[in-house]
Amino acid sequence: MKQVPDDLVAERIDNLRKGRRNAQTAQLQQAERMVKRSRIITAHAQIGDNVAVPITLVNRGRVDPHNILGFT
């Protein structure tokens, strides 16, 4: 079995660490964008607004609607 040089192993380990660090940073940025987008889309309901109230999967049948309309 061939012996792998230590500098090659160290380089691969360093590349793995950099890749993991970059993946973590990108995932945090993506989460921040998702939260920002959801805050913009879901505004607070005012009195007199129509709202969609979700029905959980447990409490509805196959042909029942996913949401019901409510009035605040």
- Number of domains the chain contains: 1
Q: Is residue 23 part of a domain?
A: yes
**pLDDT score of 51:** 87
Domain that holds residue 31: 6-71
Q: Is residue 1 part of a domain?
A: no
**pLDDT score of 13:** 95
Statement: the pTM of the whole predicted model exceeds 0.95: no
Number of helical H runs and strand E runs in the chain: 1, 2
Q: Is residue 22 part of a domain?
A: yes
- What does DSSP assign to residue 47? T
Is 64:55 a contact under the CB 8 Å cutoff?
Answer: yes
Confidence category of residue 60, pLDDT binned at 50, 70, 90: confident
User: For the chain, what percentages of helix, strand and coil (3-state, to nearest 5) are there?
Assistant: 55, 15, 30
Q: Is residue 11 part of a domain?
A: yes
Burial class (CB in 10 A: 0-12, 13-18, 19+), 60: middle
Residue 1 predicted with pLDDT over 80:
no
User: 7-59: per-residue pLDDT in tens?
Assistant: 999 999 999 999 999 999 999 999 999 998 887 777 778 888 888 888 888 87
